[in-house]
Amino acid sequence: MMIHFRNCEFPPLQFVSYRYRYRWSCIYWISDRYQNLQYRTRRRRSGRYDVVLFFTGSGGGGVLKRTPVPARPFSTMFAVRNALRLGSRLFIPAVTRRGCAGAAIPIDDVVNGLTEEQIQLRQTVRKFFVEKLAPHADEIDKKNEFPGMRDFWIEMGTMGLLGVTAPVECGGTGLGYLDHIIVMEELSRVSAAVGLSYGAHSNLCVNQLVRHANEKQKEKYMTKLLTGEHVGALAMSEPNAGSDVVSMKLRAKKEGDYYVLNGNKFWITNGPDADVLIVYAKTDPEAYQKGITAFIVEKGTPGFSTAQKLDKLGMRGSSTCELIFEDCKIPAENILGPLNKGVYVMMSGLDLERLVLASGPIGIMQAVLDAAIPYLHVREAFGQKIGHFQLMQGKMADMYTRLSACRQYLYSVARACDRGHFSAKDCAGVILYCAENATQVALDGIQCLGGNGYINDYPLGRFLRDAKLYEIGAGTSEVRRLIIGRAFNSLFK
């Protein structure tokens, strides 16, 4: 038998004979359901080994508790037999590096006020994301890339998920913002990084085209964006122009029937992968905010390139990079919306951007509950499950109520938006509240798991790193507070 130590690959236990079905019923059941049963050993100074048996597969993850065995050569089956001598109580479901795809804390959508169609939508997309994405979520984060993104995008396009709020006549699904939020919430529950890329594509890019593109532009770009053949992005921020976007330095100088762009953009989600980008540039530098124009830029346009992908703290599967424009000629027909009215185009979609992106933190908080609460009810200390300690019950209550309050706030604003009534104040407020609570819930989840919450074999650290982005992107928490404060100040002029 090969012995490998921590952070190494371990050989799967593949042989389970029918004649051992009853003798090793636990092993047979695990192997049959989860495909790969694996083990880990560690030799103690005392001359004894610790054996850890664990499995991975479509059903989630689990671990078999350590049990010492004699310090002598032994086969895989010898280790298995010794580990199982104490019976099935050694089997402890847990959250492993494969994430929590198999665990799920129920969501009461009757309390959430969802319709039957919306409940069915959640169930459908949840099943799809768990099957297609959950097995890869950890590797996406670890490697800072999503190799199967194109195929996954096409599958989402086939399901109509890339244009949830796009009108049917444009090729979209024609649903509301609450439906869009449900999809992004469930996607972020499985992988917040892929959820962020989805939001950048379906809301920041597709929604802007729906709202401001002319018929010729819609005909040219919408079809492939909605089918998933193309990936979309929006480029607004620059190295020295984040929240203060009107101070951008990217210039667009008119030359005949073209505009020549020079400058760069930074922190652009989907930048390395995007085929179609909405780019904001100064067409009249002297006019300040009244001199900005939105352009549709295609991948491969001469003079347009992407720099190295950024190595981020979280959201690592969502590719982000710098965009470089060097004498990049864009046809005047690619102007999105009116000339020099880019701020209007930008701001008209910014509130909706914040609304939809607020569902990302909701998905992260739900993922934390999916991971932490089952753990609290299988981990034992002092002779009982740690979930029975009042301090841990308090943690569960705090996480649940934070999530529930955030979800209700978001859903109520989304319903108002679907009725045609929404405000910058509440769109800023809902992402502010959801983002900051997601960070706190992730911290509480780590605390619930103790040492296991702090190691990368468990996904809680990823949840925390991903959650922090939402306090920065789409306007920082500080800017959101300014928006809310100014809205109240305007009442007393």
Residue 178, both tokens:
């609450």
Q: How far is CA 326 from CA 96, 262, 305, 323, 329, in A?
A: 46, 5, 8, 10, 9
Q: Annotation-wise, does 451 bind a ligand?
A: yes
Q: Annotation-wise, does 235 bind a ligand?
A: yes
Q: Annotation-wise, does 238 bind a ligand?
A: yes
Q: How far is CA 93 from CA 53, 88, 274, 371, 375, in A?
A: 12, 11, 40, 11, 8
Closest CA to 192 of 488, 473, 489, 480: 473
Q: Annotation-wise, does 144 bind a ligand?
A: no
Q: Annotation-wise, does 353 bind a ligand?
A: yes
Q: Annotation-wise, does 234 bind a ligand?
A: yes
Q: Annotation-wise, does 449 bind a ligand?
A: yes
Residue 181 contacts residue 303 (beta carbons within 8 Å) = no
Angle at the Cα of 166 (from 161 to 171), degrees rounded to 5? 80
- Residues near 57 by beta carbon (within 8 Å), at least 6 away in sequence: 33, 34, 35, 36, 98
- Write the Ramachandran bin of 270: left for phi over 0, alpha for psi from -120 to 50, otherwise beta: left
Residue type for position 447? Q
- Among this protein's residues, is 169 annotated catalytic? no
Q: Annotation-wise, does 436 bind a ligand?
A: no
Catalytic residue among 145, 186, 353, 436: 353
Q: Beta partners for 43?
A: 49
Q: Annotation-wise, does 415 bind a ligand?
A: no
Residue type for position 200? A
Q: Annotation-wise, does 243 bind a ligand?
A: yes
Q: Annotation-wise, does 348 bind a ligand?
A: no
Q: Annotation-wise, does 401 bind a ligand?
A: no
Owner of token pair 């100088």: 253
Residue 238 contacts residue 248 (beta carbons within 8 Å) = yes
Q: Annotation-wise, does 215 bind a ligand?
A: no
Full strand arrangement of the beta sheet holding 60-69: 12-13, 36-43, 49-57, 60-69, 91-93
Q: Annotation-wise, does 439 bind a ligand?
A: no
Q: Annotation-wise, does 450 bind a ligand?
A: yes
Q: Annotation-wise, does 226 bind a ligand?
A: no
- Under DSSP, the state recorded for 241 is B
Q: Annotation-wise, does 29 bind a ligand?
A: no
Q: How far apart are CA 297 and CA 302, in angstroms?
A: 11
Residue 345, helix vs strand vs coil: helix
Q: Annotation-wise, does 396 bind a ligand?
A: no
Q: Annotation-wise, does 268 bind a ligand?
A: yes
Closest CA to 341 of 243, 177, 165, 211: 211
* Cα-Cα-Cα-Cα dihedral sign, residues 199, 205, 210, 215: negative
**Binding annotation:** 234-243, 267-269, 344, 351-354, 379, 390, 447-451, 474-478
**Binding annotation for substrate:** 243, 344, 351-354, 474-475
- Provide the annotated active-site residues: 353
**Binding annotation for FAD:** 234-243, 267-269, 379, 390, 447-451, 476-478
